[in-house]
Structure 1
Amino acid sequence: MVDFSQLVDELSERSRIAERQAVTEEATKTSVILPLLQAWGFDIFNPSEVIPEFIADVGTKKGEKVDFAVKIDGKIAMLVEAKPITSKLGEAQFSQLFRYFSVTEARLAILTNGREAWFFSDTDAPNKMDKKPFFKFDFQAYDSDQIEELSRFRKQKFAIEQIIEAASTLKYTRAASNYLKSQLEDPDDEFIRLIGRQIYDGSITKNVAEQLKPAIQSALDELIRDRIQDRLSITFNSKAANAPAEEEPQFDSVEDDDGIVTTEEEKEAHRIVRAIGARVVNVQRIAMRDAKSYCAILMDDNNRRPICRLYFNAAKSKSIVIFDSDKNETKHKIETIEDLYQHASAIEAVIRSYGE
């Protein structure tokens, strides 16, 4: 039996092809949405499970259609509305999905363009679809945790109460995450005062808050870097502990068949760039691709999305080229690998331009 993660990988490839070739809503349905329902275990050719062009009259609105209604045990479990893969979901109109949600027994609604899928429920008010999705899945950029969330909607393990409970948790987690992310980027006065009361004896006046703000920002940055480094250390130590006793000793560099040498310094630089980008994107999206003359660090392992290039092969000097969102290059000399943190703002800016 094919593993669910393999099915998701296949969907990812379909999504990439559709983005290049599919321009209509119908093409998106055929290339991505129906295979998604199939991956969840639904019989897309059985109208008692998957109903295309589902009609349910809503008040004075007659004959409106939602692209798919999905049934489990004879009851409508979810509604699916499709948009062309060329459209942006944030700008999409999905009023039909909102209206249908209130007149059917479905408690889940999905809006998708074949590149992303947004999942809605009624966590704010019963039988009324939330205005914001509780979960977003990007078919072309995901991690194992997101695959696990996506697997909740499989027919064989579909449990609506557990899904709604998870939806509520995800909603508040996302809200907290967005708040903390905004504070990491530019802490507001209230947040500065909250932290300031724990570290400063006396009243937090406006002048005191302005003095504390840079220190609090630096502390947050340091905390994030330390957290990432700790996780990386745990991962690497775990791999080392599980390695066979007869394994060959590790050297400071690895050479492949093309004569390309990936050094420990390049690996450490890759980890630092990941630590810098951790506030913006999932670190798994920040990849390293070595070459003979330089080592490239790329977003999504895509050479059209360069973050920086490491020039560490010279005997007496090291340098880094950092790109901006327009692919312009800026070269910096560095003394030590840790000097990369001095260019964190530029590195984060280019990562952010790709990650949004």
Structure 2
Amino acid sequence: MVTFIEQIETLANRSKVAERQALTEEATKTAVILPFIQALGFDVFNLDEVLPEFIADIGTKKGEKVDFAIKIDGQIAMLVEAKPINCKLGDTQFSQLFRYFHVTEARLAILTNGKEAWFFSDTDEPNKMDKKPFFTFDFQNHDKMQVQELSRFQKSCFAIDSIIEAASNLKYTRAAAAYLKKQLDDPDDDFVRLVGRQIHEGSITKSVSEQLKPAIQAALDEIIRDRIQDKLSITFRGDSSPAPSKVEPEIEEDASGIETTEEELEGFMIVRAIGARLAPIDRITMRDAKSYCAILMDDNNRRPVCRLYFNSPTTKHLGIFDASKVETRVRIDRPSDIYKHAEAIEAAMQAYLTA
């Protein structure tokens, strides 16, 4: 029996083909959107489950139609608005679906172009569709956790209360993550004062705030490093081996005086943490040299992930490779800045995993 993950991977291939060949909304529906609804466990040929061109009259506007109304036990559970795959999802399509939402009993709405699916609910105000999706799914680029989240919408396990609860949690988690990421990059005055009141006696004046800001930013970086180290230690250790006091690769030294520095080790751990989503971390290896420290896939110098140029006492650079293995160097201030280039590092790794 085909698993849900296998069905989604088939959809990913359909989406890639459709992006090249589907020129209309109808072609997109046939190639991707109907198979997507079917993958969720609904019978697209049964009008009691999937009702195409569902009429949703809005005030004086008559004959307004939603592309699909998905029904469970005779009640409309979800609305699906389809767009051509070459159409970028945005405000216009959102406004259209927003109008449909409040005239039905549905509490879920999906806006999709066959490349992405945006999931909306009414967590902010009952029977009024939220302005932002609580979950987005990329048919062509997703991980197992996202597929697991998508599985909530299958007919066999559809539970609207738990979905709405999860939607609310996801919304607040996403907002909190965005806020904390901003503070990691550049703590604002309010955040500095909030932390400052816990660590400084007396008023938080402008001069005190300016003094505390770099210390708070450094503390945030340290927390992230410690969390990564803890997670990598658990991964290296496994369930049965005793925990080492410190997890680090072997430091290479030879007669030429090559020595791996603490910052290079930190950079290596960060690259491993970025790559852990795509491959076992033991496939991500390090080779140090005089001029740079190379991070490789499978200890193969023909599979460079990135390079760390940390030997200069004044500047640091990160070498990033494109699909043709052409290197571009970008300046960074500290090893933690490697996270800003996680997408490029993942892309380099992905090329070797699909080769």
- Range moving further from structure 2, 203-212 or 19-28: 19-28
State the distance in 1 between where 2:113 and 2:265 align: 37
Aligned to 2:71: 71
Asked if structure 2 preserves the Cα contact closer than 8 Å seen for 1:79 and 1:108, the reply is yes
Partner amino acid for 1:330? R
Aligned to 1:28: 28
C-alpha displacement of 1:95 = 2.4
Aligned to 1:351: 342
Aligned to 2:319: 321
SS at match of 1:2: coil
Q: Deviations over 1:288-310 (max 9, x none)?
A: 6458534322xxxxxxxxxx257
The 5-angstrom pairing of residues 132-143 of structure 1 reads 132-143=132-143
Scaled by the length of structure 1, the TM-score of the pair is 0.75
Asked if structure 2 preserves the Cα contact closer than 8 Å seen for 1:54 and 1:65, the reply is yes
1:9 aligns with 2:17: no
Asked if structure 1 preserves the Cα contact closer than 8 Å seen for 2:15 and 2:140, the reply is yes
C-alpha displacement of 1:229 = 2.3
SS at match of 2:68: strand
C-alpha displacement of 1:283 = 5.5
Q: Deviations over 1:16-58 (max 9, x none)?
A: 3323333432232222211111111100111221111211211
C-alpha displacement of 1:240 = 6.2
State the distance in 2 between where 1:151 and 1:165 align: 15
SS at match of 1:233: helix
The 5-angstrom pairing of residues 1-356 of structure 1 reads 1-238=1-238, 241=241, 271-275=269-273, 284=277, 289-290=297-298, 292-297=300-305, 308-309=306-307, 321-322=319-320, 329-330=328-329, 342-345=334-337, 347-351=338-342
Q: 1:270 to 1:167 in 2, by over 3 A?
A: same
State the distance in 2 between where 1:69 and 1:80 align: 6
Asked if structure 2 preserves the Cα contact closer than 8 Å seen for 1:65 and 1:96, the reply is no
Unaligned runs of 5+ in 2: 243-248, 251-263, 285-296, 310-316, 347-355
Q: Deviations over 1:1-21 (max 9, x none)?
A: 222222222222222332333
C-alpha displacement of 1:144 = 2.8
Q: 1:96 to 1:138 in 2, by over 3 A?
A: same
Unaligned runs of 5+ in 1: 243-250, 253-265, 298-307, 312-318, 333-339
State the distance in 1 between where 2:83 and 2:28 align: 7
SS at match of 1:125: coil
State the distance in 2 between where 1:5 and 1:229 align: 31
CA RMSD of aligned residues (A): 3.4
State the distance in 2 between where 1:9 and 1:111 align: 20
Q: Deviations over 1:114-147 (max 9, x none)?
A: 2221111111111111111111122233333322
State the distance in 1 between where 2:9 and 2:189 align: 44
SS at match of 1:117: strand
C-alpha displacement of 1:86 = 2.3
